[in-house]
Structure 1
């Protein structure tokens, strides 16, 4: 898989949970990374409006595959957010999630936010 500017060039395989070889990243990991990186940028924008530091913002994104009631599996994403410099982290997180384009695009997908 490559991006149009070749900044992204990697192998993608099915995860072991789905019977794949697990020898490379999988689509679910890429989605977790996209969610996390987009949220980091949105947090930086939100913090920029308050004048607070953006240097120590972190997001740890994980994905879990579980059996579904129907065919296939379900993906559950968790984003653990750390904004130590924010005077009101919950307000910053609320603003960031309201402007994050990737989170908006996956509305209805099981994404848990934890701070």
Structure 2
């Protein structure tokens, strides 16, 4: 299912210069960062990298989805955190990414936490966008 143009509530615009070894900036000036490959990939590691930016966006989006699900389920997710670990490596087609999403939800039991994670994974826009394209593990 594709989003119709009239359904779009917000559009972020970012421009990269020199790919993985340059800079990325948004059109509104709120983000302007140097990007470099990490040392593990032969870069200087002096700036951030696309995997860190993706992890930041995914964790924030997933936390929002968790809050939406928790409201529906009447569960207390106050004080919770979501961490996204984004890995990049070689695969048959060149390179690919894998993601691990973990959450600490202090006010619910383990079974409820797992249920909330599974449901958040169904509604999170990042999860929807990557479903079937990359491996995403929920912890």
**TM-score when normalising by structure 1:** 0.83
Q: Match of 1:62, SS?
A: strand
- Please tell me whether Structure 1 or Structure 2 has the larger radius of gyration of its CA atoms: 2
- 1:16-95 counterparts in 2 under 5 A? 16-71=39-94, 73-86=95-108, 88-95=112-119
Compared with structure 1, are the counterparts of its residues 97 and 70 closer, same or farther at alpha carbon in structure 2 (3 Å cutoff)? closer
| Structure 1, unaligned runs of 5 or more | none
Q: Which runs of 4+ in 1 moved over 3 A?
A: none
Task: Report the Cα offset of residue 103 of structure 1.
Answer: 0.9
Task: Report the Cα offset of residue 70 of structure 1.
Answer: 4.7
Q: Which residue of 1 aligns with 2:34?
A: 11
Question: Which is strand-richer, 1 or 2?
Answer: 2
CA-atom RMSD in angstroms? 1.8
Aligned residues: 113
**TM-score when normalising by structure 2:** 0.70
